């Protein structure tokens, strides 16, 4: 049987259960971490990741690909309904996005935003370029569309499918600093992205951060708190906000 039946059932049960993640806040925590998931939604892994986040009361940020949003709009709606932030990861994850013409790149961004709005009734305001590759003109173009460009500070390379314990070990690089962690619930446009090791690692990643006093926040929570950004300038390597002077 195709996975779509199970993903629809999972989303229905989650909505029926009704206990959305309350999430943490930026009210003077020692450190904060933003868990981010790229390339979804995926019928196989996004529902299971959402289940784990919900169980732990963690809010995360999902950078979605427009073509995948069009396939699984109900998963994007579930992400929004459960308090997560949804960002833009372009329509088709083009390899050379930073080199594309403005017309082409704007189309990739706006088409994805339209799909997200149709699915969940919200607009995207964060852009993560495919592969994290960016150019100065891409950042300026994104700004002209009202976007902040966000990459990451911790990359465990889970898209290469290392073992779960390797992913966990690499995420430990945060090592006492606030962090933006790159993970994946999909892999470009592949129907089976093979992210089972990310799924296996996620609970221990959450437990490890919690045990050392971290709070879990979304990227929007970080960006909307100017005092926080000024106090955690190491994160500004991953957050491009030209109008705010964060370069």
- Tell whether the torsion through CA atoms of 89, 93, 99 and 103 is positive or negative: negative
pLDDT computed for residue 23 by the predictor: 65
Residue 11 lies in a domain: no
Partner residues linked to 64 by β-bridges: 40, 88
Domains of the chain: total: 1
Residue 12 lies in a domain: no
**What domain range includes position 92?**
19-244
Q: How far is CA 39 from CA 57, 64, 104, in A?
A: 23, 5, 19
Token pair 């891409």 is found at 138
Q: Could you tell me the CATH number of the domain that includes residue 53?
A: 3.20.20.370
Confidence band of 19 (pLDDT split at 50, 70, 90): very low
Q: How many whole angstroms separate alpha carbon 199 and alpha carbon 185?
A: 8
**Averaged pLDDT score across all residues of the chain:** 87
Choice among 24, 38, 113, 148 that is catalytic? 38
Q: What is the model's pTM?
A: 0.87
Choice among 84, 89, 93, 184 that is catalytic? 184
Determine the average pLDDT of the residues in 216-226: 93
pLDDT digits (tens, 9 = 90+) for 54-92: 999 999 999 999 999 999 999 999 999 999 999 999 999
Residue 38 annotated as catalytic? yes
pLDDT digits (tens, 9 = 90+) for 79-131: 999 999 999 999 999 888 777 788 999 999 999 999 999 999 999 999 999 98
């Amino acid at each position: 049987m195709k996975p779509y039946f199970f993903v629809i059932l999972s989303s229905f049960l989650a909505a029926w259960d009704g206990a959305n993640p309350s999430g943490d806040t930026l009210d003077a925590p020692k450190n904060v971490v933003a868990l981010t998931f790229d390339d979804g939604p995926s019928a196989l892994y996004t529902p299971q990741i959402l289940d784990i986040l919900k169980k732990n009361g963690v809010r995360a940020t999902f950078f979605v690909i427009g073509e995948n949003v069009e396939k699984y709009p109900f998963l994007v709606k579930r992400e929004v309904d459960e308090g997560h932030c949804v960002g833009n990861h372009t329509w088709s994850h083009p390899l050379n996005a930073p080199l594309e013409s403005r017309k082409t790149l704007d189309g990739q961004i706006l088409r994805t935003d339209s799909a997200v709005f149709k699915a969940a009734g919200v607009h995207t305001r964060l852009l993560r370029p495919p592969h994290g590759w960016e150019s100065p003109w891409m950042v300026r173009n994104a700004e002209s569309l009202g976007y902040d460009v966000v990459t990451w500070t911790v990359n465990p390379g889970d898209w290469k499918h290392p073992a779960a314990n390797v992913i966990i070990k690499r995420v430990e690089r945060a090592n006492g600093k606030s962090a933006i962690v790159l993970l994946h619930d999909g892999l470009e446009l592949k129907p089976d992205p093979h992210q089972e090791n990310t799924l296996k690692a996620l609970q221990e990643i959450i437990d490890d951060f919690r045990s050392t006093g971290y709070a879990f926040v979304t990227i929007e929570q970080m960006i909307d708190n100017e005092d926080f950004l000024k106090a955690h300038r190491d994160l500004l390597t991953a957050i491009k906000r030209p109008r705010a002077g964060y370069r």
